[in-house]
A and B are shown apart, each in its own frame.
Chain A
Amino acid sequence: MMKAEQLLRERRGKRNQLIVFLAFLAALTVWSAIGTNFTPGALWGGIGDGAGFLFVDLMPPDTAELPGLIGPALDTIYMSFVAMVIGALVASVLSIFAAATTSPHPVFQVGMRAFSAMLRNVPVIIWTILLVASFGLGKLVGTLSLIIVSIGMLVRCFAESLEEIDLGQVEALRSVGASYWQVITQAVLPQFLPSLIGWALFNLEVNVRASTIVGMVGGGGLGFTIQSGLKLFQYKEVSMAVLLVLAIVLATEFLTNRIRERII
């Protein structure tokens, strides 16, 4: 009887908590709207200006610029792909130390999680700015920044997949007298491979999108072309480049989905 009453009390408590939370959310919304001078009117005006820029200045895209954009477009693809491959290779080793199920010691686990959180939570644009300062402009810097954030993201995703593997299979291999790395390659890897590929493909999509931003602060590829075009008021060229980015993003999504269907 005691237990039942306690549970009823907990339930009522939960409901009150929800009401307080919703009130808090409403207050926060109003406060941020005031703080940022946000009004529906301002939004409306902005839409007018934006539409003007979009339909008058940017239109039509200049297809004559297309041949000159092929080079930067390929750079964008290379950068994203190389960052995905290197990122996935490095992250697959690091994530073994980060996952509770495979880490040789809890100390590695905490350390690796903190390290990957740092790589991932510093925005890619900041990494690029920092790297441009030391290596100068170019594709190398763009690729490096993408590698850094890819590792950060993939260590976390990989570690989560590693923590979901069937430990019975691990137990079986430990019981035959297999060593640590034998267990990793023979029992963990076969289970982990499908999610490894799935996350790496997702990472490729993320990289293709991020590469534009990276390019705009000096990391090469189409982003760099867009940024230079904006500075020189070459808006028709810019819109052509934007269209190309869109095409690459969509093509990547299409391709990765096809590959994913095949393996899963």
Chain B
Amino acid sequence: MTLLRVEDLKKVYADGTAALNGIDLTVEAGEFIVVIGPSGAGKSTLLRCLNRMVQPTSGKVLFQGTDTTGVSKRKLREIRRSMGMIFQGFNLVERLSVLANVLHGRLGYMSAWRGALGLFAKPDVEEATRLLQRVGLGEQLHKRADELSGGQQQRVGIARALAQKPQLILADEPIASLDPASSEIVMNSLYTFCKEDGIACLCNLHQVDVAKKYATRIIGIYKGTKVFDGTPEQLTDEMIDYIYNQHNDKASDQSEADGRLARALKKETA
């Protein structure tokens, strides 16, 4: 069965920015899909419309057959807990322990007050400990999250997502803030765990080589429109060029104008 079906998804932000102009896509169980596109193309917006961190303007997001765009608060919590999310900035609660951060992945399953008081059940704590061992951080359980390196923090982020027992993981540029060595470890972990646990993944990336290495399918977005959807082999160099290298003449005009302005201001103060 199709895990996720997106139909004619549009998003116009309050300031009038049209970030998505009608996106259609499907995700089957177990797929590892990489979304590529230049910065500002709408990749982050797309991911956030799926778990409704951003409210879509129109269109449908069918997750396991349920349209998520209009569901109640209660149902939305259930949908969100079935989709893990991984962030470019890791977004760990820095002053809490590594273990507490992974346990946060269980909040969607807990009663409101037990979760609010942080009364995690013993099986949850055991599972979180196992997950941290699995991502190679079994020794760091009780460290404060901000004491870890970037790469380690992102692995905690992955463990938090896995703790949700999700069907789908949404990863928004998970390696954009990391050095090459950590990037490799993080991408390998993400890919392996998704594969082992049968979790589908939608991963925003801007490195095409990394995309080609891991993706079972690649989706290209340009200015809020899907311009490519195919296998890594089908993503030709011309296609990459088409997605990325659309030169914007206005931009060079602007920088020239700024230069003139700077010179004029200098004269004024001299």
A191, B260: Cβ atoms closer than 8 Å: no
Q: How far is the CB of A2 from chain B (nearest CB, A)?
A: 9
* B164 neighbours in A (Cβ, 8 Å): 176-177
User: By the criterion CB–CB under 8 Å, are B85 and A177 in contact?
Assistant: no
A173 and B264 form a contact (CB under 8 A): no
Decide if A176 touches B80 in the complex (CB within 8 Å): yes
Query: A175, B53: Cβ atoms under 8 Å?
Result: yes
The total of chain B residues at the interface (CB under 8 A) is: 42
Judge whether B107 and A176 touch: CB under 8 Å. Answer: yes
Is A247's CB within 8 Å of the partner chain B? no
Q: Say if the beta carbon of A8 comes within 8 Å of chain B.
A: yes
Nearest chain-A residue to B157 (Cβ)?
Answer: A172
Residues of A within 8 A of B79 (CB): 177
A172 near B87 (CB under 8 angstroms)?
yes
Per-residue A-contact encoding for B103-124, CB less than 8 Å = 1, 0 else: 0110111101101111000000
Q: Mark A178-196, 1 if CB is under 8 A from B, else 0.
A: 1101101111001101000
Q: Give the interface SS of chain B, mostly helix, strand, loop or mixed.
A: helix
In chain A, positions 1-15 with a C-beta closer than 8 Å to chain B are 1, 3-5, 7-8, 11
User: A169, B93: Cβ atoms under 8 Å?
Assistant: yes
A179 vs B107: C-alpha distance in the bound complex, in angstroms? Answer: 8
Cβ contact within 8 Å between A186 and B87: no
30 examples of A-B residue contacts, CB within 8 angstroms? A1-B260, A3-B261, A4-B265, A8-B265, A168-B91, A169-B91, A169-B93, A171-B53, A171-B91, A172-B104, A172-B157, A172-B160, A173-B93, A174-B80, A175-B53, A175-B85, A176-B80, A176-B108, A176-B160, A177-B76, A178-B104, A178-B115, A179-B112, A179-B116, A181-B113, A182-B116, A184-B116, A186-B104, A187-B93, A191-B93
